[in-house]
Amino acid sequence: MKLNSILDLPALYKLFSTLVGAQNSQSTFVREYVRPAKGARILDIGCGPGNILDHLPQVDYFGFDFNPSYIESATKRYGDRGQFFCQRVSEAQVFLEQPESFDIVLAIGILHHLDDAEALQLFEIAKRALKKGGRLVTFDGCYVDDQSRMAKYLLSRDRGQFVRDEKGYVDLAKARFDEVHASTRSDLLNIPYTHIMLECVK
C-alpha cells in the first residue's frame, strides 16, 4: 500500500502526524495565527479527521472534507463539539445559504491539493462565508529560496500536487482578498519542512 493510501486512513494519518510533530505545529498555528475567541463561528474547509479541535476553545464549529473516513472519524471523536459534512470544495454552497456568518474560515493543508481554479473557488467561498472583518487563515507547505534539499524533496513528495512558493499562494489570495498577510516558517515539524500561513481579511 502506498503512503498516500495509508494516510487516507484516519488512525494511521494521526500516527504519522504525531511522529512528525503535527500536534505542536497545530497548537502554534492556532495560538499565533488563528487566535480564535471563545464562541467564534468557524468553518473548516478540508477538516480531515477534525484534529484541530484539540487546540480550539469552545467554538461554533463546522467542518467539511471529501474523505468519508475522515468525516466518520471526526464525527465519532468530536461530534459533541462540531458538525461535520462530507463534501468537496466545489459542493460547499450549502455553507453559503447564510452568507457573511462566519468569524473565521480555516483551510489547513488544503490549498496545495488544489489547482489554481479550485484554489480561487476556495478563496471565493471563504470570502462569501466571512463576516466583515472576518479572516481566512491557511496553512500549507511552501517552497522558499535557500531551502534545504531535504525540505524540497519532502515537499515534492507531498500528497498535494500543487505546492507553491510564497508568491504563488499570495497572488491567488489577492485575487479575492484585498488584505493578505503571509508568514513562512521552517520550525513547525520534527522534519525539514517549510510552511506558509496566510491571513486574509475581509
CATH at 160: 3.40.50.150
Please, which residues bridge with residue 173 across strands? none
Would you state the pLDDT for residue 2?
33
Instruction: Give pLDDT tens digits for 152-166.
Output: 998 998 888 999 999
Tally of structural domains, the chain: 1
Cell numbers given for 44: 473548516
Would you state the pLDDT for residue 62?
94
Cell numbers given for 177: 482578498
- C-beta of residue 129 within 8 angstroms of C-beta of residue 95: yes
Would you state the pLDDT for residue 178?
97
Domain of residue 139, residue span: 3-201
Max distance between CA atoms of the chain, in angstroms, equals: 46
Supply the DSSP symbol for 178: S
Q: Using DSSP, state whether 174 is helix, strand or coil.
A: helix
Would you state the pLDDT for residue 1?
36
Would you state the pLDDT for residue 97?
67
Which residues of the chain carry a pLDDT beneath 70?
Answer: 1-22, 90-97
**Residue of 115, 113, 102 lying closest to 46 (CA atoms):** 113
Calpha distance 202→193 (Å, rounded): 29
Would you state the pLDDT for residue 20?
53
Please, which residues bridge with residue 106 across strands? 44, 137
Specify the DSSP element, H or E, that contains 116: helix 116-129
Calpha distance 146→182 (Å, rounded): 18
Would you state the pLDDT for residue 52?
96
Would you state the pLDDT for residue 151?
92
Calpha distance 141→86 (Å, rounded): 24
| Residue 15 Cα distances to 12, 20, 85, 108, 194, angstroms | 5, 9, 23, 18, 21
